[in-house]
Amino acid sequence: MLIGVLNRKGGCGKSTTAVHLAYWLSQKKQRVILIDSDGQMSSSQWLTKLGMPSVVIDDPDDLFDQIGKLAEEYDSVVIDSPSVLGEPAKSVLLSVDLALVPIQPSNLDLLAAKDIVRLVHQAQKIRQGAPKAAMFLSRASRGTVLMREAQEALSKTQGFVLLDSVIYQRQAIADAPGQAATVFTMPGEPASSVAKDYDRLFEEAILYGKAK
């Protein structure tokens, strides 16, 4: 499966999601590679520390070509899309099976989400339905009014499904890159709790992505 993780809003957990997804897929015995097309190159640097394959591609034409080529070599390709929603992001959306969009439950993030929604709709129109698109709440605070309002607003987004799974704001997630780890490999109950959240999220996302 080809999965693009996209959002133009910084701090939403895009690269963190991409790295954890790639690791999670590898633990499912998938041959997986991550394409890092974000200028900060944080996901590829992180995966290097984990001893996992990644490649940095930021040219939109190369990105489009390489996604297809790598799909022939690997079971799954995860793309950490650039924060700027330009030509590289379009190349991702014209290639992937599933667009996965993490969104923080804040007013600014909800406003910024309109840009990625528009871009996904354009790709779906060109491709006559593909890619499937899923949003999920990321870095959320449990039980807040803002979280409930964000869920209500995002659930009405045409062309997207809002996943039930939520990734909450946890220190273990912030600590993972510095420890050259993922929450799946970190010790302690806090990391284990987050790992369960990610497991639910990825199971739900993959199931939706594969559904007919």
Q: What confidence score (pLDDT) does residue 143 get?
A: 87
Three-class SS of residue 140? strand
Query: What pLDDT shows up at residue 9?
Result: 78
User: CA-CA distances (angstroms) from residue 102 to 11, 71, 81, 212?
Assistant: 10, 23, 12, 23
Contact 127, 100 (CB under 8 A): no
Q: Measure the CA–CA gap between 11 and 109, rounded to whole angstroms.
A: 10
pLDDT at 129: 95
State the pLDDT at residue 73: 97
Q: What local confidence, expressed as pLDDT, does residue 85 receive?
A: 81
pLDDT tens, position by position, for the chain (212 residues)? 999 999 987 788 999 999 999 999 999 999 999 999 988 899 999 999 999 999 999 899 999 999 999 999 999 999 999 887 889 999 999 999 999 999 999 988 888 889 999 999 999 999 999 999 999 999 999 989 999 999 999 999 999 999 999 999 999 999 999 999 999 999 999 999 999 999 999 999 999 999 97
Query: What is the reported pLDDT for 212?
Result: 79
Q: What is the pLDDT of residue 84?
A: 78
* CATH number of the structural domain spanning residue 14: 3.40.50.300
Q: How far is CA 124 from CA 77, 162, 189, in A?
A: 20, 17, 41
54-56 β-sheet, strand order: 54-56, 32-36, 76-80, 2-5, 98-103, 132-140, 161-168
Domain residues for 61? 2-210
Domains in the chain: how many in total?
1
